[in-house]
Structure 1
């Protein structure tokens, strides 16, 4: 079937390219002089018929024959001098180019593609994903295979400070502040493996008391040192961080990335979708999620998913002005922003995530009764979209408005 479709598409494209050239060739085969000759011969026959009917005299007939004869000679001369000018060869040239392109495409596909590979059932794809997941290299193997990072260009005085920091940590290896600074600056100067080692020592030093932020940073540095691969060891550290703080957004982002690396978009999509809905829009993990979420939804079997529109937040001037406001004035500013969101949804509509955000915001500012009205309206608006309604229902349930 694949080859039949390819042949049909190639034939359609070839005909589309050849048709104008063939029309031009047909036109070139009949130059204007040939049409003129036919007209002049018809005129000669018309002169003879007029003479037989007595419409014109013999002298007029002879004069017309002489005049038309000169035109016939001129047209015949032009016809004999008309050259094809290579037009007949254009169609053959185009056909040859098409044939070469087709053969080149087939050769490239046979070399780089997999013509004998059939469609994989979903169960087989999942099995292959599980096998790839189980056969990941260790952290040491991944770091050994990772390309060497490009050395960062740093000023000499900064390089001297880094060296002093390394010596200070070597003298006092149990200093958590020194280890944290060393991990941060080793990554800055392009030494991800050294940064990972310093962060590992910091986590080991703190033991079970290590905060989830330290664990997430260690996992991220392990991924950086491994060339972007989330190894088994990095996943274990990530699991420890999520065990302490299941809502940590950076850890959840990396968990979704782990599922993508093992060809499980069906598992990655709900994780990243939730992160995108929660925001905030200026979080560092939001841009890569927003760029990939539509394709990820399609791969996960949800092609109708519409990502929430970016919610514009207050600008820098508004944030600066809010610092000088009293608590009551801040509350009024927040209420105005919520009212602006409600007005836009009423006039232009919006995504389920925006309706959910409006319900949550109304409850936060103490307007639970109005939030119930919005929840009732959302149930009517999204009645035919169970998945969208579930998004709004979760927000209503978290706000105590629904079960």
Structure 2
């Protein structure tokens, strides 16, 4: 209610400012009495000269003084002004102002939306996250996908696979095949179910890649929605690999979908600022991070996508040494500039040290190593990673 009172008062104030000129009386020019007096005196002097009451030279001096005063008095503004518009126009203007301000707020504002202090918003997000729809509910509401046009023989073989695999429920390979082919058919719910069987059979031996496949299939089946089941898989991925790109993307997407863009931005920045090669999950984070940053009340522009990861270039047998050196030099230059201006996590510093070693720039590698040790000296884990990088670069002490 306080918000509406403030809006009403401000609108009325602006209306008064705009309408006031419209209701003033019309412009009228009123001659200053002093001007009329001086004109009369000039005429009186002329009559006195005609009657020879005063000498002509005295009359000229008198007229000069009277004329000076007349000019001074004539320079003053003695008019009153108003608009040509009357009260109907003023009332109409006021109505238009009220309607226009109300219409703009209706489009851009949130009528009826209550105040949301930070604590309340966080609490609402926690409650929504705890009670959000399940995977099954999300799949039921997801739009149906059109099945690709496959040959009839392929479709028949998939139908047979669907019949045979459940008959041998303990064979991992059968569920893996079924999950793959169901995903090719865009039957993502069935593919996620099959991949879930793979994970269940492997238990703790399931790899990060296999868990990532399951997270991808669950999200695809739910039209991008991160359900509690997908969140559980993402957290399991991050337990095995805390810096995993897919795990951090899905956890960030979950927070973004439950009104915590600040947490989403934090997670997505941690993978986008890393400078890793572009992947499906990085592309998704790059797509949504701008909106999350705006809703979190900050500005963030992700760095441009990196087409090739530094680790994929070093030691790549398909590239000549000259090609490797050329590609690494360009990537190293961009990475060094970013670390110098924006900073970055310890793994980026380690990559830069190794890259300088590959390029034979040992002095640069030592300088970066010394700088990184000053930055991350308080972390034993970070120091261990830097020591490994120094060994790979050939600058270990």
TM more than 0.5: yes
| Paired position in structure 1 for 2:209 | 213
State how far apart, in whole Å, the 1-side matches of 2:106 and 2:290 are: 33
Counterpart Cα distance in 1 of 2:6 and 2:268? 40
Q: Deviations over 1:161-200 (max 9, x none)?
A: 663243231353263564143222232xxx4323333433
Q: Does 1:50 align with 2:51?
A: no
Which residue of structure 2 lines up, in the alignment, with residue 79 of structure 1?
Answer: none
Q: Deviations over 1:278-322 (max 9, x none)?
A: 232622333443465577578779x6x8666437667xxxx9xx9
Counterparts of residues 250-329 of structure 1 (less than 5 Å): 250-264=246-260, 267-280=263-276, 282-290=278-286, 293=289, 309-310=303-304, 325-327=319-321, 329=322
8 Å contact from structure 2 (residues 273, 303) kept in 1: no
User: CA separation in 1, counterparts of 2:332 and 2:191?
Assistant: 47
* Residue in 1 that maps onto 2:20: 22
Please list the CA deviations of residues 69-112 of structure 1 after superposition, one character each: whole Å capped at 9, or x if unmatched.
Answer: xxxxxxxxxxxxxx986454332212123344567789999995
Residue 192 of structure 1 corresponds to: 188
- After TM superposition, the structure 1 = structure 2 runs for residues 1-400 of structure 1, keeping only pairs within 5 Å, are 3=2, 7-8=5-6, 11-12=9-10, 14-16=12-14, 18-23=16-21, 25-26=23-24, 29-30=26-27, 34-35=28-29, 38=31, 48-54=40-46, 86-100=85-99, 112-115=111-114, 119=117, 122=119, 128-144=124-140, 146-149=141-144, 151-152=145-146, 154-155=148-149, 158=150, 160=152, 163-173=155-165, 175-176=174-175, 178-187=177-186, 191-204=187-200, 209-264=205-260, 267-280=263-276, 282-290=278-286, 293=289, 309-310=303-304, 325-327=319-321, 329-334=322-327, 336-337=329-330, 340-341=333-334, 344=337, 350-353=341-344, 357=348, 360-366=351-357, 367=361, 369-374=363-368, 376=370, 389=375, 398-400=385-387
Structure 2 CA distance for aligned equivalents of residues 114 and 364 of structure 1: 54
Residues of 2 paired with 1:221 and 1:251: CA distance? 14
TM-score where L is the length of structure 2:
0.63
Inter-partner Cα distance in structure 2 for 1:334 and 1:391: 31
Q: Which runs of 5+ in 1 are unaligned?
A: 59-82, 381-388
Tell me the C-alpha RMSD between the 2 structures.
Answer: 4.9
For structure 2, list consecutive stretches of 5 or more residues without a partner in the other structure: 52-81, 169-173, 391-395
- Pair 1:110–1:397, CA change in 2 (3 A): closer
Q: Name the SS for the 2:341 alignment partner.
A: coil
8 Å contact from structure 2 (residues 183, 191) kept in 1? yes
Quote the Cα distance in structure 2 between the aligned partners of 1:392 and 1:9. 53
C-alpha separation in 1, matches of 2:216 and 2:43? 105
SS at match of 1:29: coil
Contact kept in structure 1, 2:179 and 2:192, CA below 8 Å: no
Aligned length: 342
Deviation at 1:254, TM superposition (A): 0.9
Distance 1:396 1:307 in 2: 30
